[in-house]
Amino acid sequence: MENLYDVIIIGAGPAGLAAGLYAARAKMKTLILEKNKAGGQIVTTNEVANYPGSVEHATGPSLIARMVAQAEEFGSERKKDTIIDVDFTEKIKVIKGQEKEYKAKAVIIATGATPRPIGCPGEKELTGKGVSYCATCDGDFFTDLEVFVIGGGDSAVEEAMYLTKFARKVTIVHRRDALRAAKSIQEKAFKNEKLAFMWDAGVEEIKGDGIVESIVFKNKKTGEVTEYHADEEDGTFGVFPFIGYQAFSDIFKEKIELDPSGYIPTDADMKTNVEGVFAAGDIRVKSLRQVVTATADGAIAAVQAEKYIENNFEE
Amino acid sequence: MLALDKDTFESEVLEAEGYVLVDYWSDGCEPCKALMPDVEELAAKYESKVKFSKLNTTKARRLAISQRVLGLPTLALYKDGEKVDEVTKDDATKANIDAMIQKHVG
Q: Which residues contact A315 (CB under 8 A, 6 or more apart)?
A: none
- Average pLDDT, integer, range A137-141: 90
Fold of A4-115+245-312: FAD/NAD(P)-binding domain (3.50.50)
CATH of residue B13's domain is 3.40.30.10
Q: Over 70: is that where the pLDDT of A315 sits?
A: no
Confidence of residue A273 (pLDDT cuts 50, 70, 90): very high
Q: Which long-range contacts (CB under 8 A, 24 or more apart) does B57-61 make?
A: B57/A140, B57/A141, B57/B24, B57/B25, B57/B26, B58/A140, B58/B26, B58/B27, B58/B28, B59/B5, B59/B6, B60/B4, B60/B5, B60/B6, B60/B9, B61/A140, B61/A141, B61/A143
Contact residues on chain A for B69, CB-CB shorter than 8 A: 128
- The catalytically annotated residue of A6, A81, A138, A297 is A138
What are the b/e assignments for B19-41, b being 16+ CB within 10 Å? bbbbbbbbebbbbbbbbbebbee
How many domains are contained in chain B? 1
Residue A189 — very low, low, confident or very high, per pLDDT cuts 50/70/90? very high
Q: Note whether A137 contacts B29, CB cutoff 8 Å.
A: yes
**Among partner residues A98, A130, A136, which is closest to B70 by beta-carbon distance?**
A130
Q: Which is catalytic among the residues B29, B36, B84, B105?
A: B29
Residue pLDDT, tens place only, A209-232: 999 999 999 999 999 999 999 999
- pLDDT reading at B22 higher than 90: yes
**Which domain, by its residues, includes B30?**
2-105
| A–B CB contacts, 8 A cutoff, strictly below | 76
Residue A280: C-alpha distances to residues A123, A157, B49, B86 (Å) = 31, 26, 45, 36
Residue A175 has pLDDT above 80, yes or no: yes
The answer to whether residue B3 neighbours chain A at the CB level (below 8 Å) is: no
Q: What is the DSSP letter of A26?
A: T
Residue A114: pLDDT band with limits 50, 70, 90: confident
Mean pLDDT over A34-47 rounds to 79
Q: Which residues of A86-98 are buried (b: 16+ CB within 10 A; e: fewer)?
A: bebeeeebbbebe
Q: Determine the Cα–Cα distance for residues A181 and A160; give it in Å rounded to an integer.
A: 12
> Are A136 and B30 an interchain contact pair (Cβ–Cβ within 8 Å)?
yes
Nearest CA distance, B102 vs chain A (angstrom): 19
A135-241: CATH number: 3.50.50.60
The number of CA neighbours under 13 Å toward the Cβ of B26 is 23
Confidence of residue A200 (pLDDT cuts 50, 70, 90): very high
To the query of whether residue A138 is one of the catalytic residues in this protein, the response is yes
Helix (H) or strand (E) holding A73, with range, is helix A60-73
Q: Quick one: residue A155, left, alpha or beta (phi over 0 = left, psi -120 to 50 = alpha)? A: alpha
User: B79 catalytic, yes or no?
Assistant: no
CA distance to partner chain A, nearest, from residue B106 (Å) = 22
Of A44, A51, A49, A47, give the one whose Cα is nearest residue A59: A47
Contact A210 B68 (CB under 8 A): yes
Note whether A240 and B89 are within 8 A (CB): no
Indicate yes or no: CB of A138 within 8 angstroms of CB of B72.
Answer: yes
Give contacts of B31 with chain A, Cβ < 8 Å. 36-37, 44, 134, 137
The span from the CA of A260 to the CA of B82, in Å, is: 46
Closest-CA residue of A relative to B88 is A128
Q: Please, what sign has the CA dihedral across residues A279, A283, A284, A288?
A: positive
Tell me whether domains A4-115+245-312 and A135-241 share a fold: yes
Chain B, nearest residue to A136 by Cα: B28
Could you tell me if A149 and A172 are in contact, meaning their C-beta atoms sit under 8 angstroms apart?
A: yes
Domain borders along chain A are: 4-115+245-312, 135-241
- A2 pLDDT tier (thresholds 50, 70, 90): low
User: pLDDT at residue A116 above 60?
Assistant: yes
Pick from A36, A143, A212: which is nearest to B34 by CB?
A36
Q: List chain B residues with CB under 8 Å of A138.
A: 29, 70-72
pLDDT classification of A136: cutoffs 50, 70, 90: confident
Which of B37, B22, B16 has the alpha carbon at shortest distance from B77?
B22
- Residue A1: the pLDDT is 55
What is the mean pLDDT of the segment spanning B49-74? 94
If residue A18 lies in a helix (H) or strand (E), which one and from where to where?
helix A14-25
Q: Which residues of A53-82 are buried (b: 16+ CB within 10 A; e: fewer)?
A: ebeeebbbbebbeebbebbbeeebebebbe
Residue type (1 letter), A208: G
Active site residue A134: yes
Rounded CA-CA distance B60/B7 in Å is 9
Q: What's chain A's average pLDDT?
A: 93
